[in-house]
Amino acid sequence: MAAALHSLINSETKIKVSSTLDKSVGKKNLTDGSPETCWTSQQGTPQYIQLSFPAPIALRHAELTFQGGFVGTKCSVEALRAGEERKWEVLTRIYPEDVNRKQSFELLPLDASGEDWAVIGLKFVFEESSDFFGRVTMYDLQLMGIQEN
């Protein structure tokens, strides 16, 4: 029987961002559930959002809601695997559309044997932005998957 998917971001998840335009658009707004608040980076690329988890997780998909005109249109998704040397590995690349709606992306990290990666960190690196100045504005970030034991 397949394990049920649930949100992988909780109060114990640590979030770090590359930059913040000002205090009113900080990283806490990424996961507060409010459609009225957002995170906005300063100008320049790349920009990133990094998450650290208290226990290993098995990723399934990410849901990102950007502000149109300020979308990270080329994104490298990097993972930090549990139990191995601590280095970031590129999991996949995603290419969000320049729109104001929630976008879902499959994140199925499998090793050579077809087993899930046990991930303790995840980083979205926005290499390009639809904004001329390289800013990224995100209203919501959700990660769905399975909490490892």
Please report the sign of the dihedral spanned by the C-alpha atoms of residue 82, residue 83, residue 88, residue 90: negative
pLDDT score at 70 = 97
Mean pLDDT of the chain: 91
Partnered with residue 102 across adjacent β-strands are 65
Name the DSSP letter for residue 116: B
User: What span, in angstroms and rounded, lies between the C-alpha atoms of 69 and 55?
Assistant: 35
Q: Which residue has the tokens 């205090």?
A: 23
* Statement: residue 1 has pLDDT above 50: no
Give 3's pLDDT tier (boundaries 50, 70, 90): low
- Please state the pTM of the whole predicted model: 0.92
User: What span, in angstroms and rounded, lies between the C-alpha atoms of 75 and 97?
Assistant: 11
User: What span, in angstroms and rounded, lies between the C-alpha atoms of 91 and 25?
Assistant: 28
Tens-digit pLDDT profile for residues 59-94:
899 999 999 999 999 999 999 988 767 889 998 899
Instruction: Tell me the domain boundaries of the chain.
Output: 6-147
Fold (CATH) for 6-147? Jelly Rolls (2.60.120)
Tens-digit pLDDT profile for residues 103-138:
999 987 655 566 677 899 999 999 999 999 999 999
Taking 3-state DSSP, the helix, strand and coil percentages for the chain, each rounded to the nearest 5, stand at 5, 50, 50
